[in-house]
Structure 1
Amino acid sequence: MPLREEFVRSGSWLFRWRSYLPFVFLPLILVAAMRYPVIESHPNLHFAWSLLSLCISLLGLAIRCHVIGHAADGTSGRNTKSQVAELLNTTGFYSVVRHPLYLGNFLIALGIVMHSLAPWLVVIYIMAFALYYERIMFAEEAFLRRKFGRDFMAWSTQTPAFLPRLRQWKKAAVPMDFPKVIRAESAAVAVIAFAFPALEFVMHHATEGSVAIESSWYALLASGVVLYAVARVMKRQLRRWLKYERILYAAAK
């Protein structure tokens, strides 16, 4: 099979399983957190590094929220079986980078990996992400090129694939849809809210033999739980509304 077709085929397969990549690193993160505790020896440095790591993950979440909230219907979804794009997004974050959702994914996981305080794990994560998502982006762009032709070529020629070119920013054409963001990004919020306190538990236990952590991490965990619960309720109400709408449509026919 020619390399081009092989890249598209493997990228499409990896696309279906992209949500599970972070779980591959979970054992390595736990090992790193237990092996490199610095809480007692450098508490101020540990706090500053924890704050930096959290901010990187929150930046990734903010990028994802902006992209999802301003994306047109039928685009930028969480579909896993096949590529879907009703139109080509070229404004908002799509005006400065071609794959903003993957950039958001990268930053969310990077912050969590950095929080483990293991430089070797950060290097492994960056290399694995590059190898994994390169194929996915290749397959995605092959799909977009077939569907949108010259429009895709014109946009992709001036827009970088992964490192944003902020001077090209164009205001998003679609208004922000906050309910859509809450429904779509509840899982990402839950991951961040759980991962950082969990790593703190592990580090404190490895260093001090206890699981007592700073109150700020409890607040983060509680906030994540509340937001996730709200999102679940909103999803359930949306499904009920869609079911009711289909019943009314069937009755009208």
Structure 2
Amino acid sequence: MALTEQMESQGAWLFKYRSILPLIIFAIGIVLFLNNESNPENWILETNLQESLYELTCLLVAFLGFFIRIYTVGYSRPNTSGRNTEHQVADVLNTTGIYSIMRNPLYVGNFFMWLGIAMLTGNFWFIIAFTLFYFLYYERIIFTEEQFLKNKFGHTYLEWAQKTPIIVPKFSSFKKADYNFNWKKVLRQEKNGLAALLILFCLFDIGGEMVKEQRNFNETLYFAGAASIILYFILKFIKYNTKLLQDPE
């Protein structure tokens, strides 16, 4: 099998099972985090205030990624930038808005979301390893997606790809989105990400306090996590039982 065909085949498989990556990060990350919490001498932050500020920084990094996803999904065309896993879907080629400054904004958003989780471990080498693994993992997926887009949109795709960076944004080339922001699409697609993100932060906080045999829980974080779960089920009910979140035909 030629190298390009091998990369495309690997990318298709990774695309289908790309949701496994967060589980790997969480499994390894929680072990390292609990080890730090049970051995405070290994933790460079000495006070509760410093630790709280660091955790807030991690949360902000994660929410930066979530905001990138919201912006991307909200200004993307229908049947593009979705959560499909079985096969590639793109009715049109997005080239304006955030897609005018980089070709893969959703994966950049995912990176920051999971970087926030990785940072919680407080393990410098794990953060570096995660970053390298993430880009090696998604390199194949991006290759496969670009082969699909090149075959479907031909010269239009090649012309856009030639002037638009893969992941590092080129802000000078920004073009206003030619599609109005679609809150319905955002609510349909991103409810999962918000709930998962806050739940993971809650689990890290609970685990850390239990290891330290303390009860200094972050009640604000738990309230936000509980609210995100309630919102998730409300939106899920609306999605499958009403037409409120459907796009106009």
Task: State how far apart, in whole Å, the 1-side matches of 2:245 and 2:48 are.
Answer: 50
| 1:15 alignment counterpart | 15
| 2:173 alignment counterpart | 168
Give the alignment of 1:13-162 within 5 angstroms. Answer: 13-37=13-37, 41-162=46-167
Query: Is contact 1:201-1:212 (8 Å) kept?
Result: no
Gap runs ≥5 in structure 2? none
| 1:250 alignment counterpart | none
Aligned residue identity for 1:185: E
Q: 1:93 to 1:238 in 2, by over 3 A?
A: farther
Q: CA deviation at 1:214?
A: 2.2
Q: CA deviation at 1:79?
A: 1.1
| 2:240 alignment counterpart | 236
Task: State how far apart, in whole Å, the 2-side matches of 1:231 and 1:193 are.
Answer: 17
Q: CA deviation at 1:82?
A: 1.0
Aligned residue identity for 2:111: F
Percent of counterpart pairs with the same letter? Answer: 33
Structure that is richer in helix per residue: 1
Q: CA deviation at 1:211?
A: 4.4
Q: CA deviation at 1:237?
A: 2.4
Q: CA deviation at 1:174?
A: 1.0
Query: Is contact 1:193-1:223 (8 Å) kept?
Result: no
Cα RMSD of the aligned pairs, angstroms, is 1.9
Cα displacement string for residues 44-90 of structure 1 (whole angstroms, at most 9, x for unaligned residues): 22111111111111111111111111111121111111111111100
Cα displacement string for residues 151-182 of structure 1 (whole angstroms, at most 9, x for unaligned residues): 11111111110111122221111111112211
Task: State how far apart, in whole Å, the 1-side matches of 2:126 and 2:52 are.
Answer: 20
Task: State how far apart, in whole Å, the 1-side matches of 2:55 and 2:95 are.
Answer: 35
TM-score between the two structures when normalised by the length of structure 2: 0.91
Task: State how far apart, in whole Å, the 1-side matches of 2:160 and 2:151 are.
Answer: 14
Query: Is contact 2:97-2:174 (8 Å) kept?
Result: yes
Query: Is contact 1:114-1:122 (8 Å) kept?
Result: yes
Query: Is contact 2:238-2:244 (8 Å) kept?
Result: no
| 1:247 alignment counterpart | none
1:191 aligns with 2:196: yes
Cα displacement string for residues 123-158 of structure 1 (whole angstroms, at most 9, x for unaligned residues): 121111111100000000011111111111111111
Q: CA deviation at 1:241?
A: 9.4
Gap runs ≥5 in structure 1? 243-253
Query: Is contact 2:187-2:235 (8 Å) kept?
Result: yes
Query: Is contact 1:202-1:211 (8 Å) kept?
Result: no
Q: CA deviation at 1:199?
A: 0.5
Q: 1:5 to 1:229 in 2, by over 3 A?
A: same
Q: CA deviation at 1:226?
A: 2.8
Q: 1:25 to 1:241 in 2, by over 3 A?
A: closer
1:217 aligns with 2:218: no
Task: State how far apart, in whole Å, the 1-side matches of 2:245 and 2:83 are.
Answer: 21
